[in-house]
Amino acid sequence: MIGLFGKKGTKIELTVRGMTCGHCEMRVQKALLGVAGVRDAKASHERGRVVITLDPGAEVRIEDLVAAVQAAGYEAEA
């Protein structure tokens, strides 16, 4: 996959499998907030998704976002 160049309000949505509760959502969000260029992350275990907001001008690779979610113990894909 290619790198993404963030513009103000750029959002990326990932599918996340394995989240079952609010604690899972917090783990995914915390993992993503540790990726440089991520401004915010809102996960929903009910929807099986996370919406990530990038910092303006940030360059973030989808692979890095997926890897952060996987390191937290969940499966993710764009």
What span, in angstroms and rounded, lies between the C-alpha atoms of 77 and 30?
17
Model-level pTM greater than 0.95?
no
Q: Answer positive or negative: Cα dihedral of 73, 19, 25, 1.
A: positive
Torsion (CA) 52, 69, 36, 41 in degrees, nearest 10: 30
Calculate helix-pair angle for 22-33, 62-71, nearest 10 degrees. Answer: 130
Tell me the pLDDT tens digit for each residue of 49-67: 999 999 988 889 999 999 9
For 15-19, 22-26, 40-44, 59-63, which range has the lowest pLDDT when averaged over its residues?
59-63
Cβ contacts of 36 within 8 Å, gap of 6 or more: 58, 60
